[in-house]
Structure 1
Amino acid sequence: MGSLLEEIRHNRALWLLIFVPVVLVAEHTAPTAHTMLFLLSILAIFPLAVLLSYATEGVAAKMGDATGGLLNATLGNLTELVIALAALQAGQHDLVKASIAGAIVTNTLFLLGASFLVGGLKYRMQEFNRINARFQSSLLFVATVAILIPSAVTAADSIGMSDFTHKLSVGLSLLLIVVYGLGLLFSQKTHRELFSSQEAGEHGPTPPMSVALATLAVTTLLVALVGEIFVGSVQQAATSFGMTPAFIGFIIVALVGGAAEMASAFSGARKNRLDLSVGIALGSAAQIALFVAPVLVLLSYVIGPAPMDLQFWPGAVIMMFLAAMTVVLVTSGGHSTWFVGVLLLMVYLILAMTLYLLPPQLPSDPPAKVSAYERVRTGLAS
């Protein structure tokens, strides 16, 4: 515990932890002050992300970067899962799908690209385990194909196929969960030696395992609580800032929800522990696509007012597919430079700019027989 208190005393970013109780109290005293809650939740999530990064590094130093990256991705995705469950209970399927697609794209393009850039500015060239990168990219590609199929089949037939889509989504969800479980068995047990780190990197002082695990648990819970406040206020607050619903779900929610993972990934890249950064970025994206999204589909039959399917709107499917293909290309060599990070960030900014200026129509919005051209034209006119 002394090492944790020492870290808080010397790291000024952690002084912002004072905003955690502030935003929790403000949510009860002024629940309708959405803009204030929006800003306070961002100020609270940032130091929690830094603290989660500190604890994760302690676990990774003792369990290895591959396992540490998996653990960080799992705990980091808990925030997205809590946010999605709240939206699922309210029947906001479009928001759930936007947050899922946004988290996949943000982790594969922004998080990985920024890690390459941060590490590349300090080191001329960095290496990482390309077997692990290819493995995670392959998992992500399989999940993207599974998400693509319901949208492609339904779009090819103008007749309503709601019952078929729901049955197909349930079957695909079960298959994806099985693939994810087998992937964990492969990477963490039967072929664990293939996923060892390429570089030892810099390992600074780390907390004891018991302190690190306790910090991870408590911090993740606080991130989930503050993240729920953030989601409850973001739509009303974003309206006053001129942001569209598609941009909010795809970009803003994904960035804030992944703040903890970003802090750990950037810290690992700066210390030349790129395997930790790659494991967090790609592991988190694969976990969302292969586990979080399917679980939400299955849970929608229990806690939601209506079942959710895996049919995403065409723009989201295209963006996820482009993100998966980009990652496959840039991680095939097993090394990175700062310019590779710039290229990934440019692809992300292209997608973000598109959403900000012309958000995609959601599946429930346009009539079934309206052409794609008419949908775009209608969107421009509005």
Structure 2
Amino acid sequence: MSSSDGRSSPSAGIGRSVLQELRHTPVLWLIVLVPIVIVLEHLVPDSHTLLFFISVLAIVPLATLLSRATEAVAARTGDAVGGLLNATLGNLTELVISLSALRTGQYLLVKASLAGAIVTNTLFMLGGAFLLGGLKHHLQEFNRVNARFQACLLFLATIAVLVPSIISEVDQPPPLAISQNVSLGLSVILIAVYALGMLFSLRTHKELFASAGHADEEQATWPLGLSIAILVGVTVLVALVSEIFVGSVQVAAEHLGMTPAFVGFIVVALVGAAAEMTTAFSAARADRLDLSVGIALGSAAQIALFVAPLLVIVSYVIGPEPMTLQFWPGAVTMMIVATVAATLLSNGGRGAWYAGVMALALYAIFAFTLFVLPPAGPT
């Protein structure tokens, strides 16, 4: 419908934006599974395996919408506010799933999903971007200063995670209360470092983080009103579906022969990062590898420096008992190796397809090992 002066009405513009997005992003058609899984949760609450699979598929389009709307709002609010918005909402799916598991005391699932998200972003997402971009473009460039900065933040966070795990292995392990106090103090330090890192990269030294690549084409953004409405609505739906996912994952994992550690490390991490992967992979294909590297390493740093410490603090309020930053040795080892590998792969400021193969191979080694011989870690 058009207005009297010949211009399209706002509602018509919003409708066209939605239809265009559905045509160009087929995964959004999975949104029909959201009401289906909510209804099934009330009709067949004991069908945990069915609810598990449908909730996993339902989270994917929600995460895609969340990421797309966040990008649209950030594009209209400037670097500072946009950076804060991306930091807050970029890993919202992972955060909501972890909060649901935290409330029910599934700390192993929470820690596995956090460790898995870090490894998935630094190896699977980064490797996939290198591979897909390299298959279309012979050699791609990106800002290695930004890559080094994010890798350093990630390394700092893995060291902070390593400390509680080390003190638990001494000859006379400290009481649980000591580990909880250490984790709480480290969480405060990590969040402060993350906040100062945002100030450094977005305000005081933002010229160092300018893009080194170029885009093949400019992507149209959604109207601001539509983006904000989608952010609010999708956030509610993600919370509802995540509750169903967490409620069914433990029994479904047993039926499928998987441990909660594997489900958290692989399944939850991949589902939570689905939207960011879509953006990173499409950006690499459009010769915007700089954006892909920033998403992969930046998202991993967000989880390590902000999401994980925040969950430790929140556990004092909503958890059965305070959560610690103590991970099982295998998870700590994988996080450190993934951080070192990502640093080496991104150190030169150039990407090629075989670099992606190496990163994906390392991720496959971790996933296969965890599936065949899942670690027996702290609960």
The TM-score normalised by the length of structure 1 is 0.88
Q: Counterpart of 1:239?
A: 254
Please say if 1:208 is aligned against 2:223.
Answer: yes
Tell me the amino acid that sits aligned with residue 192 of structure 2. V
Q: Structure 1 stretch 287-296 or stretch 66-75: which is displaced more?
A: 66-75
**Does structure 1 conserve the Cα–Cα contact (< 8 Å) formed by 2:108 and 2:261?**
no
Deviations 1:257-281 (CA, angstroms, capped at 9, x unpaired):
2222222222222222222222221
Q: Is the alpha carbon distance of 1:209 and 1:116 closer, same or farther for their aligned partners in structure 2, counting shifts above 3 Å?
A: farther
Segments of 5+ residues of structure 1 without an aligned counterpart are: 365-382
Q: Counterpart of 2:124?
A: 110
Tell me the distance in 2 between the aligned counterparts of 1:303 and 1:118.
42
Please say if 1:13 is aligned against 2:31.
Answer: no
Tell me the amino acid that sits aligned with residue 18 of structure 2. L
Tell me the distance in 2 between the aligned counterparts of 1:60 and 1:198.
20
Q: Counterpart of 2:110?
A: 96
Tell me the distance in 2 between the aligned counterparts of 1:204 and 1:57.
10
Tell me the amino acid that sits aligned with residue 310 of structure 2. V
Q: Structure 1 stretch 354-363 or stretch 194-203: which is displaced more?
A: 194-203
Q: Counterpart of 2:233?
A: 218
**Does structure 2 conserve the Cα–Cα contact (< 8 Å) formed by 1:72 and 1:261?**
no
**Does structure 2 conserve the Cα–Cα contact (< 8 Å) formed by 1:72 and 1:280?**
no
Q: Structure 1 stretch 117-126 or stretch 329-338: which is displaced more?
A: 117-126
Q: Counterpart of 2:370?
A: 355
Per the TM alignment, residue 7 of structure 1 is displaced from its structure 2 partner at its CA by 1.9
Of residues 7, 11, 17, the one that matches 1:4 is 17
Tell me the distance in 1 between the aligned counterparts of 2:185 and 2:65.
39
Q: Counterpart of 2:280?
A: 265
Tell me the amino acid that sits aligned with residue 2 of structure 1. G
Tell me the distance in 1 between the aligned counterparts of 2:141 and 2:227.
27
**Does structure 1 conserve the Cα–Cα contact (< 8 Å) formed by 2:266 and 2:367?**
yes
Percent identity among equivalent residues? Answer: 60
The secondary structure found in structure 2 opposite 1:197 is coil
CA-atom RMSD, angstroms? 2.2
Per the TM alignment, residue 53 of structure 1 is displaced from its structure 2 partner at its CA by 4.5
Tell me the distance in 2 between the aligned counterparts of 1:289 and 1:125.
30
**Does structure 1 conserve the Cα–Cα contact (< 8 Å) formed by 2:49 and 2:252?**
yes
Per the TM alignment, residue 297 of structure 1 is displaced from its structure 2 partner at its CA by 1.2
Per the TM alignment, residue 152 of structure 1 is displaced from its structure 2 partner at its CA by 1.2
**Does structure 2 conserve the Cα–Cα contact (< 8 Å) formed by 1:64 and 1:197?**
no
Tell me the amino acid that sits aligned with residue 366 of structure 2. L
Of residues 176, 184, 188, the one that matches 1:174 is 188
The secondary structure found in structure 2 opposite 1:155 is coil
Deviations 1:326-366 (CA, angstroms, capped at 9, x unpaired):
111111111111111111111111111110011112135xx
What are the within-5 Å matches in structure 2 for residues 278-293 of structure 1?
278-293=293-308
The secondary structure found in structure 1 opposite 2:91 is helix
Tell me the distance in 2 between the aligned counterparts of 1:358 and 1:164.
31
The secondary structure found in structure 2 opposite 1:117 is helix
Deviations 1:66-124 (CA, angstroms, capped at 9, x unpaired):
98677446424112222222222222222221111111111111111112112112211
Of residues 311, 335, 359, the one that matches 1:320 is 335
Tell me the distance in 1 between the aligned counterparts of 2:205 and 2:272.
31
Tell me the distance in 1 between the aligned counterparts of 2:137 and 2:76.
24
Number of matched pairs: 364
Q: Is the alpha carbon distance of 1:9 and 1:96 closer, same or farther for their aligned partners in structure 2, counting shifts above 3 Å?
A: closer
**Does structure 2 conserve the Cα–Cα contact (< 8 Å) formed by 1:133 and 1:331?**
yes
**Does structure 2 conserve the Cα–Cα contact (< 8 Å) formed by 1:84 and 1:99?**
yes
Deviations 1:130-180 (CA, angstroms, capped at 9, x unpaired):
111111111000000111011112212334442322221111111111101
The secondary structure found in structure 2 opposite 1:112 is helix
What are the within-5 Å matches in structure 2 for residues 13-92 of structure 1?
13-59=27-73, 71-72=85-86, 74-92=88-106
Deviations 1:3-26 (CA, angstroms, capped at 9, x unpaired):
422224523332222112111222
Q: Is the alpha carbon distance of 1:225 and 1:261 closer, same or farther for their aligned partners in structure 2, counting shifts above 3 Å?
A: farther
The secondary structure found in structure 1 opposite 2:275 is helix
The TM-score normalised by the length of structure 2 is 0.89
**Does structure 2 conserve the Cα–Cα contact (< 8 Å) formed by 1:101 and 1:320?**
yes
